[in-house]
Structure formats: structure tokens, C-alpha cells
Amino acid sequence: MRKTLYTTEQINEIVKRLGKQFTEKFKDEELPPVFIGVLKGAMPFMMDLVREIDCPLIMDFIQVKSYIGSESTGVITLKKDINEDIRNRSVVIVEDIADSGYTLVWLKNYLLKTYKPKALYTCALLDKKCKRKVPFDVDYVGEEIGDYFIVGYGLDYDEIGRNVKEIFVPDLEEQQILHEIAH
Ligand code: IMP
Ligand code: MG
């Protein structure tokens, strides 16, 4: 049996709460902030989050490669850069989950150095803080979780499972099935 970690209702509550926080933060911002979703895992979260934010904003996307199977490699490469001009704007990097921290550290450094935004914040729906390999605090966290490998709502097992509405921990049998589907 798969173990559901977050139902759609629970996810909605978390996303609504974050949306309110960003609305509050950016409601008097001069230039619309840019929300940068990290492809592909953050897509469902990004699309739900921006619709909970009640002020003008710009969306963009970035893609990096950083993860193979179920272990982080620490090696990050840029696959798709942003398209919008983020100079002098506040930026929020939107991630599905923070694990080792390598991805967010890399993205933050890359965007700060390359484009010099006015301010840069990080947001992750979930945070496996206990798994950090580099010290890093996410600015806006939906929920902190333990050391589970999870699938659904954007999170994948070798690309499979992103479209599942809830977030679940696949048991061994389900991992086997996902592995067979993916290969
Ligand atoms: P980090 O660089 O180790 O912090 O990893 C971040 C990336 O690893 C996220 O963008 C996810 O794509 C992926 N990731 C981390 N934990 C999980 C998980 O439990 N399930 C699926 N993907 C994960
Ligand atoms: Mg991923």
C-alpha cells in the first residue's frame, strides 16, 4: 500500500498559506516580482501558488539537472535559463523540495551573480532539512519533512508520478512498479 503523506486538501492549505505570505510581502512592490519555477518538479506547485498570490507578478522558469534516481549528485548543470529581465526586481525561486540543498544554493548563486536582482528569495513546498549536505535555509517553506523519498504533485521517480494529485511515499512494491515503468 502506498502511504499518502499529503492529500490534495493538505497541499491546498499549505499553498494558500504561502500565497497569503507572498501577497502580504509584495502588495506594495513597485515592479512586479518574478516567480521562477524550477522545471519540472515545481510546475504543479508553481501554478497553484501563483494563483493564490493576489498582486501582479511575472512568471518564468529555469531548468537544471541535478538528480539521478533517488540520490542527489551535487553536480548541477543549467538546461534552460530564464527569459525575463530580473534586474532590479524581487525574485522568488519556486522549488518542489529542498533536499541536499545543492540545487537551491546553485540557483541562488547563479541568478545573483548573472542577473543582479534587487532581492532573491527561495521557496520550497517541502523541505528535507535533515538531508542537507550544504548549509542552506529556505526562506519560505511549506512544510518540513523527514527523510522520505516521495512522489506526486510534481515530484517524480525517474520522471514518473509527477501528475499524481497527492504526495505519497511509495512502498517497496510500488517502487518496483515505478522502476519498471520508468525503464
Ligand atoms: P537537492 O539539490 O538535493 O536539494 O535536491 C533538490 C531536487 O531533488 C528537487 O528539485 C527534486 O527534484 C529532487 N528531489 C529531492 N527529494 C526528492 C524526493 O523525495 N522525490 C523526488 N524528487 C526529489
Ligand atoms: Mg526533480
Return the ligand 1 atom nearest residue 95 CA: 10
**Is beta strand 140-144 parallel, antiparallel or unpaired with respect to 119-127?**
parallel
Instruction: Convert the pLDDT of each residue in 37-80 to its tens digit.
Output: 999 999 999 999 999 999 999 999 999 987 554 555 678 999 99
Distance 156 CA to ligand 1 centre (A): 9
Q: pLDDT per residue over 104-128, tens digit each? A: 999 999 999 999 999 999 999 999 9
Q: Which three cell numbers stand for residue 127?
A: 523541505
Q: What is the C-alpha end-to-end distance of the chain, expressed in Å?
A: 22
Q: Is the CB of 161 under 6 A from ligand 1?
A: no
